[in-house]
Amino acid sequence: MKSEDNNFTNANLDDAIEALSKNLYLESPDLWIEFQDKMGDKVFDEMVLFFAAKYNSFSIIAHAVENNLINLDSPSRNKSYSTVRDHIISVAKKNKHTRVCEYLTDPNSLISDSSDNTSAENTIEEEVNQTDVFIPKFTCPTCNTNVFESGYIVSTNSIYKFSKNEKTSKKISQETLDPVVCCNCNSTIKGITPEKLENLCHVHSCSKCGLDLKTIGIIDKLKMEYDKGSDKFIKKSASYHCSNCDNKISDYQKEYFNL
């Protein structure tokens, strides 16, 4: 753990820890005690990041990542996810915390942008209001609607335990089950999982095959038109395509990649 002395000097981080602490207290005093212990020991593990993602505590996540307090690519304790990163992204996605998602997907995209993170909710509002938004697509094989528009049902298994403090049964964990059901025709969609659908939502994923464009690459197609005056072909327009399936990338993705 490097720069230990500086870890808690950031006022935003302190505010974020306090805000998350309050949320956890309301959720379960047992959880709150565990969280307080971890903060006392300056431990930023998967559990801390899980709740930071759930409650949109951007500062906490950025602090853990930028100070290498956690290896996001280590195996997740939740068997549904292969890495801590996948798990935390999934939580942020479920709670529609776009900024956390994009940061975890590519920390460089938002690095050193953690000064105004207490207004992260506003950032999400702004993103939602953009007209030129990347819209993922997955067609239900039964009714042919885009499930991202018609909706899809994901089931979860929740585990409850009795809380001595609250004298009631409290949810201690939740995991997502694989089958996805189309809201439009009510049929189970074979060959897709909630995780795969989430991958399709990432701005850097191909909207057709879902592969990560940053890994597989894109193809730059240049249209040349014949110009009578100069008796030459001149560059007319360029378009960018997924190198795996040739699907044209959207204007929003073009902007995102600075093409």
Among 23, 184, 193, 250, binds Zn ion (CB under 5 A): 184
Q: Give min distance, CB of 184 to Zn ion, in A.
A: 4
Closest CB to Zn ion among residues 115, 239? 239
Structure tokens that stand for 36 in this block: 């307080």
Told to check if 19 binds Zn ion by CB under 5 A, we report no
* Closest distance of CB 246 from Zn ion, Å: 7
User: How wide is the angle at C-alpha 20 spanned by C-alphas 16 and 21, nearest 5°?
Assistant: 115
Regarding 185 and contact with Zn ion (CB under 5 A), the answer is: yes
d(CA 25, CA 22): 5
CA distance 49 to 87: 10
Select the span of 15-23, 107-115, 235-243, 251-259 touching Zn ion (CB under 5 A).
235-243
When asked if residue 242 is in the footprint of Zn ion (CB under 5 A), the reply is yes
For Zn ion, which residue of 208, 241, 248, 254 counts as binding (CB under 5 A)? 208
Measure CA of the first residue to CA of the last residue in the chain; give whole Å. Answer: 38
Q: Does 24 bind Zn ion (CB under 5 A)?
A: no
* Beta carbons within 10 angstroms of residue 51's beta carbon: 19
Contact between residue 204 and residue 108 where contact means Cβ atoms under 8 Å apart:
no
Told to check if 142 binds Zn ion by CB under 5 A, we report yes
- In DSSP notation, 172-216 reads EEEEEEEEEEETTT-PEETT--HHHHHHHHSTTB-TTT--BHHHH
Site for Zn ion contains 140 (CB under 5 A): yes
Instruction: Let me know: does 53 contact 97? Beta carbons within 8 Å.
Output: yes
Position 216 contacts Zn ion (CB under 5 A): no
Shorter beta-carbon distance to Zn ion: residue 10 or 243: 243
- Candidate segments 8-16, 56-64, 72-80, 238-246, binder of Zn ion by CB under 5 A: 238-246
CA nearest 105: which of 86, 120, 123?
86
Stretch of residues binding Zn ion (CB under 5 A), selected from 48-56, 70-78, 226-234, 241-249: 241-249
Residues forming the site for Zn ion (CB under 5 A): 140, 142-143, 182, 184-185, 206, 208-209, 242, 244-245, 247
